[in-house]
């Protein structure tokens, strides 16, 4: 895969999150969807809002299909998704910072 194409694929926040989630281990689509529901907290304020980020099942499936088609993830027979490279990841994958 060309480097420019891989950069385009990984520019999307949801796809980065999916790759980061799968870096921890195999997950089903439902487990991935649950982990994407993150709480957005400000870094400097003590106030902790109850705002969450949610992805629709259709959008999540589109992102999973794209990552699978491009060879970054693989869907197993038991419907678990896994990274298609080692846990260390390829050198050019830049996951979201924690």
- pLDDT at position 49 is 58
Residue 98, token pair as written in the block: 């924690």
Residue 97, domain member (yes or no):
no
- CB-CB contact of 60 with 36 (8 Å): yes
Q: For the chain, how many structural domains are there in total?
A: 1
Distance CA(62)–CA(33), nearest Å, equals: 12
> In the block, which residue shows the tokens 């589109």?
62
- CB-CB contact of 80 with 4 (8 Å): no
Residue 90, domain member (yes or no):
no
Q: Where are any strands of DSSP class E within 1-98?
A: 38-39, 52-53, 73-75, 81-83
Residue 91, domain member (yes or no):
no
Q: Report the CATH number that the domain containing residue 34 is assigned in CATH.
A: 1.10.10
Residue 98, domain member (yes or no):
no
- pLDDT at position 97 is 47
Residue 46, domain member (yes or no):
yes
- Around Cβ 3, how many Cβ atoms within 10 Å? 8
Residue 95, domain member (yes or no):
no
Range(s) of the domain holding residue 22? 3-83
Q: How many CA atoms lie within 13 A of 5 on its CB side?
A: 8
Q: Is the pLDDT of residue 11 over 90?
A: no
pLDDT digits (tens, 9 = 90+) for 14-67: 888 888 889 989 999 988 888 887 644 444 455 555 666 778 889 999 999 999
């Amino acid at each position: 895969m060309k480097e420019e194409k891989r950069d385009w694929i990984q520019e999307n926040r949801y796809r980065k999150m999916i790759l980061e989630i799968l870096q921890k281990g195999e997950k089903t689509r439902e487990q991935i969807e649950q982990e994407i529901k993150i709480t957005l907290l400000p870094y400097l304020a003590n106030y902790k809002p109850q705002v969450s980020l949610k992805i629709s099942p259709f959008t999540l499936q589109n992102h999973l299909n794209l990552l699978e088609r491009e060879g970054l993830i693989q869907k197993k027979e038991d419907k678990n998704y896994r990274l298609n490279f080692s846990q260390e990841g390829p050198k050019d994958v830049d996951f979201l910072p924690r």
